[in-house]
Every structure is written in structure tokens, then in C-alpha cells.
Amino acid sequence: MFKASWRVLRSRKELAVFPVLSGVAGLVVAAIFLTPALFTIDPNGRPTFGSWALFAGFYLVSTYMAIFFNTALISQANIALNGGDPSVAGGLRVAGSNWARILPWALLSATVSMILRAIEERLGFLGRIITGMIGMAWTLVTYLVLPVLVLERVGTKDAVKRSATLFRNTWGENVLGNAGIGVAGFLLFLPAVALAALGAVAGGATLLVCFGIAVVWGLLVGITVAALSGIYQTALYRYAAEGTTPQAFAEADLGHAFPQRR
């Protein structure tokens, strides 16, 4: 699956631009919301109501921006899988035309995440276990919500139902066995960790050089994995919803990614 997604990305490098834009937008949103939040903390170091409002605003807006650029990526990944010619401008136009459609999904996603975060903080270790299980189930059931929103142009409620139906009827519990891109991304990130550790041991100028290379390598891996994930997600949606395998994934045998439930 990783190699199939990589072949698409290698031939359509413009798809990697969307994760870059998403990262830049995330930094801008962080600067807008988190910088003033630091100045609203009381003298005892505790957040005030204004701080919490800014934190919530940051969470909602950053979630929306991530979904916005993922929308653009999925729309152009679908064109690439059809043998067409994707473009950055085309992806941004699609995302812009769907801004109102993806807004409820962004609000729902951010709200669920904040609720799970609050439960985790209140219940400690037990909360981490509970929220981990709930969060995993939520992620699996809603994995195809965004492709459904973008490609079928339905509302959030229908998209969640549709995603749950695709999950239940086609890949179910077996989706956990198909985390190839995530594992590959983790392995690719290990050299950055090794470089950082080497720099920490060496110290001096070597530390700065190794740390700089590690940061650049980590960013490149993050951008690549994000683009590959969008491509893979789109291909899986098309197989689950339409029963067709994109040509780029013909050798990957998507049938094993979607085994029928017994």
C-alpha cells in the first residue's frame, strides 16, 4: 500500500503541496490564538476564561484548516487516481467551494477531541485507557467521512452514516492490520531521532548541524506521510464505495485491505 501510494505521489508531486500549506496555516493560526493566550494567564500561572476561549478557538480553527487542506488533497488525489491532471489551484477551489460543507464536520471533530481530552485529564491513567479506546473507535468509524463529504457532496450527518456503513460492511475490524503507511512513516522518522541523539552526544557545532538536519528530515517525512495518507484514503474509499481498484493500486490487491466480515 505504501509503494502504491508512493508511485502516485512520485508522479504527482503537487499533491505534497497541500500538507505544506496545511502546516503553514497551522503555524499562522497558532500565532494568532496562542500568543495572546499567553498574556491572559493570571499572575499565578493559571489560565483565565479568556485563555480558555483562545485555546478553544485555536483548536477549532486549526482543526478546520487541517480538514480544509485535506479536502483539497483528496479531491486532487481522486483526479490523479482517475489518470487526470491534479493541480494545487484546483484543490483549493474544491476546498473553497465546500467550505460550508466541511465546517460542521470540523466542529464535530474538534468537539469530540476536546471532550476526550477533558475526560483524559480528569480521570488520569484510567481516562487515557478509556479515551484511547473511544478515540480509536471514532477514528475507524469516521475514517471515510471526508472522502464521502468531498466526492459524494453530502452533509456531515449523512457522511458519518455512510462512513460507518462502509466500515461495517467492507473492512470492519481488519482495518487495524493495514497500517503500512504509518509504520513506514515511523521507520523513516527514526534517522531524525538518531541524528538528534548523535548531536546531543557530540555537542558543540555538531549538535546544531545534526539538529538542523533532523528537523528538515522530520518535516519532509511528515509532509510525505500526510500526502501518502490522503492518497491511500481516497483509494480505499473508492474501493469500498464503488468496488473499483484504481490502476495505481492494481498490484496492491486492495481486497486484502477490505476483507469481508464473517
pLDDT for the residue numbered 5: 87
Query: How many separate helices (H) and strands (E) can be counted in the chain?
Result: 9, 0
Q: Chain-wide mean pLDDT for the chain?
A: 87
Q: How many angstroms separate the CA atoms of 42 and 8, rounded?
A: 51
> CB count, 10 Å around CB of 42?
10
Distance of CA 79 to the CA centre of its chain: 19
Listed ranges 39-53, 74-88, 182-196; the one with the highest mean pLDDT: 74-88
* In the predicted structure, residue 173 carries a pLDDT above the cut 90: no
Give me the long-range contacts of 103-108 (CB less than 8 A, separation at least 24): 103/64, 104/155, 104/156, 105/67, 105/145, 105/146, 105/149, 105/156, 105/159, 106/60, 106/63, 106/64, 106/67, 106/68, 107/60, 107/64, 108/156, 108/160
pLDDT digits (tens, 9 = 90+) for 188-198: 999 999 998 98
